[in-house]
Amino acid sequence: MWWFIRGISFCPNWVKNWGATPRVANYDGVVVTLSDGTSIPAATLIWTAGINPSPVIAQLPCEKERGRLLVSEYLAVTGVPGLWAAGDCAAVPILDAENFHPPTAQHGIREGVTVAKNIEAMILDRSLKSFRYKMMGQLASIGHHTGVAMVFGIKFSGFIAWWFWRSVYLMKLPRLAKKLRVMASWTLDLFFGQEIEQMITVRDIEALSGQLARIRARTKSGSEETKHERPIALN
């Protein structure tokens, strides 16, 4: 989504005001060191990144573009008759442009429909359909009830963008009852904050006890193996 957020000038200012400018420079398993020298004691480090194609794709002897299968305008894999690709696995060219469609949900859904229709057309010996789609926009939440948005070329930000982002995802939920439940929960969170408490049941305790027992067993087994290892002298 960088091609979208990069064009919204306010975003770096918001992030800077929240103190999120420093990046992680090092982690030794005990302390996280930021690029500005700040140290944060942490036993757990969670790293997130963008999407990547399935590891299976890397093993296929097909032509690729930045790790994704290169396909034609009909979403047929280049050089492999009868093989089709869509979504995160495919590098789908934009017609009349030297670029590729971004691997987003709104593109992937429509690519899947096009692939299905083209497979049917191939079986019935009909003409294939080119994939043509103009992105309607992009939405993203950047936290603290703030979002960034670009809809039909119009860029806006702040609470309205965040609210619009949530509304779109709310409408995508199945069934009216689920929509109403989620909407009620989100509305209460907006005024009273999120509830982070969790009810612990007997089943949860039993499951956790079983996991702890397995961990202790593996740890004990590893310790016993270490005791019988031959010492190694380092010069």
Residue-wise pLDDT tens digits, 86-131 = 988 899 998 877 789 888 888 898 999 999 999 999 999 999 999 9
Taking CA atoms, 40 is separated from 21, 23, 47, 108, 129, in Å, by 15, 12, 15, 39, 54
Which value, in Å, is the radius of gyration of the alpha carbons in the chain? Answer: 25
Mode of pairing for the β-strands spanning 31-34 and 24-27: antiparallel
pTM: 0.57
Q: Are residues 147 and 141 in contact, defined by beta-carbon separation less than 8 angstroms?
A: yes
Place of tokens 């509830």: 195
Task: Identify the structural domains of the chain with CATH numbers, from first to last.
Answer: 2-37+136-192 (no CATH), 61-123 (3.50.50.60)
* Rounded Cα gap, residues 88 and 59, in angstroms: 16
Three-class DSSP category at 227: helix
Does an H or E element contain 149, and which? strand 146-151
pLDDT recorded at residue 125: 92
Q: How many residues are given for the chain?
A: 235
Show the low-confidence residues of the chain (pLDDT under 50). 1-8, 12, 14, 226-227, 229-235
